[in-house]
């Protein structure tokens, strides 16, 4: 590959030459992190799930042994236990997953600064400018797998290709703990015979539409008429045609330039259904507190608040409200959320789950065009000082050090031993 260095010291490469893209996908990430504490369960079927007693009984992750029994993410615990009565269940610890995700991406950055996280356990790496230092794409992938296994005792699977989509599909091809190279020479042999449902971004509904037109494999998709695909699926049809033919040219972002957070939310399924405004206020107090503290941690504010409500029959409504000024205050998020619920929900109806989300975010230092006659400005500044003081107390003495009175001794399932609801 021909490399050039510009006057600012930036490394680039000839656009006519293929890039070398890696997609790194941790193997059974949540379950693998939990098993670090329980090595005796390593060869047993294990799943990470919410507490069934608190009605959080959904499978969040499973290890390879559990996968052999057909256990799937998002199915209920009782369904999983029917398939595998000896399934070992472990509770989730989201702060651990975030901690390990940071460590993993720090290892990636030893090889390139072009690291783009796709989720908490997946990242794309563009190592095109690193080949002379660290070897071929396959060699870098194998080194990454060995390094993470040695330093963190976790495994990952890596896809190596000339674009992001094929690299992503390569990481799924040989799991766990494998490296798959998908090149211009072999992508038709590896990918085209696969069911079209295996194509990245092809869901069940899209696959059904494609199947009805005779498109069964990725090769069928690649050879299809692009105009007909666009007529069938709109812009997605043209995009899938390009992906199947290896025409993806989307760049890998630098880790330091990764996309800003678009929303900050928190939700929970309660130990019992919420009944009436008193219950709702307890729940909204705790959720708003968590959302506000996260906004301050990320140095963001929201111009709007969204509330999702799920009833015992699993029906969901979603409503939102725009604010007159951006906020990261629990008090303001609380009042906006209560207004939304009061205007859109019959209070006599039970609530199984609530999610509160701050939306339309901006940097907290972004200029606010407040009226010179705004009498509430000073009060908001004082409230922000109070809530930041609460942040400092919790940081020093623990999340349980200070809380809202109405939340203490609640019976809806908000655990004060871990006040940050995950």
| 207 Rama sector, left if φ>0, alpha if ψ -120 to 50, beta otherwise | alpha
Handedness of CA 180, 181, 182, 185 (dihedral sign): negative
Mark whether 106 is an active-site residue. no
Handedness of CA 254, 255, 256, 259 (dihedral sign): positive
Q: Is 81 exposed, middle or buried (0-12, 13-18, 19+ CB in 10 A)?
A: middle
For the chain, what's the residue count? 422
Angle at 126 between CA 167 and CA 193, to 5 degrees: 15
- Element containing residue 12 per DSSP (H, E): strand 11-13
Catalytic residue among 116, 122, 332, 384: 122
Is residue 80 within 8 A of residue 46, CB to CB? The reply is no
Residue holding tokens 């006040």? Answer: 419
Q: What is the DSSP string of 76-125?
A: BHHHHHHH-TT-EEE---HHHHHHHHHHHHHHHTTT-S-EEEEETTEEEE
SS3 414: coil
Could you tell me where the beta strands, DSSP code E, fall in 146-250? Answer: 156-161, 179-182
Residue 45 CA to residue 63 CA, distance in Å, equals 7
SS3 366: coil
Which residues are identified as catalytic? 122
């Amino acid at each position: 590959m021909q490399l050039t260095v510009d006057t600012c010291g930036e490394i680039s490469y000839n656009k006519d030459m293929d890039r070398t893209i890696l997609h790194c996908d941790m193997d059974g990430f949540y379950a693998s992190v939990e098993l670090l504490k329980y090595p005796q369960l390593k060869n047993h079927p294990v799943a990470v799930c919410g507490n069934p007693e608190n009605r959080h009984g959904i499978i969040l992750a499973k290890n390879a042994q559990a996968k052999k029994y057909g256990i799937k993410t998002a199915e209920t615990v009782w369904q999983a236990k029917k398939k595998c009565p000896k399934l070992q269940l472990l509770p989730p610890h989201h702060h651990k997953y975030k901690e390990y995700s940071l460590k993993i991406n720090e290892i990636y950055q030893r090889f390139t600064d072009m690291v783009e996280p796709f989720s908490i356990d997946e990242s794309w790496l563009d190592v095109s400018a690193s080949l002379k230092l660290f070897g071929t794409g396959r060699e870098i992938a194998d080194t990454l797998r060995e390094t993470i296994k040695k330093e963190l005792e976790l495994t990952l699977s890596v896809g190596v290709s000339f674009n992001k989509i094929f690299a992503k599909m390569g990481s799924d091809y040989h799991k766990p703990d494998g490296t798959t190279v998908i090149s211009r020479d072999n992508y038709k042999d590896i990918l085209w015979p696969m069911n079209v449902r295996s194509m990245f971004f092809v869901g069940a509904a899209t696959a059904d539409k494609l199947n009805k037109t005779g498109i069964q494999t990725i090769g069928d998709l690649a050879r299809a008429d692009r105009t007909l695909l666009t007529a069938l699926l709109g812009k997605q049809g043209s995009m899938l045609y390009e992906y199947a033919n290896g025409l993806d040219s989307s760049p890998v972002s630098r880790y330091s330039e990764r996309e800003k957070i678009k929303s900050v939310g928190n939700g929970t399924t309660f130990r019992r259904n919420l009944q009436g405004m008193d219950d709702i206020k307890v729940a909204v107090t705790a959720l708003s507190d968590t959302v506000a503290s996260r906004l301050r941690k990320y140095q963001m504010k929201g111009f709007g608040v969204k509330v999702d409500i799920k009833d015992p029959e699993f029906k969901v409504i979603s409503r939102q409200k725009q604010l007159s000024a951006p906020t990261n205050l629990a008090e303001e998020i609380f009042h906006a959320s209560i207004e939304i619920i009061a205007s859109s929900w019959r209070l006599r109806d039970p609530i199984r789950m609530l999610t509160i989300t701050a939306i339309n975010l901006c940097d907290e230092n972004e200029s606010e065009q407040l009226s010179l006659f705004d009498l509430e400005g000073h009060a908001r500044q004082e409230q922000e000082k109070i809530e930041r003081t609460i942040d400092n107390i919790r940081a020093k003495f623990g999340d349980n050090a200070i809380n809202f009175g109405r939340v203490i001794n609640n019976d809806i399932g908000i655990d004060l031993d871990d006040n940050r609801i995950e």
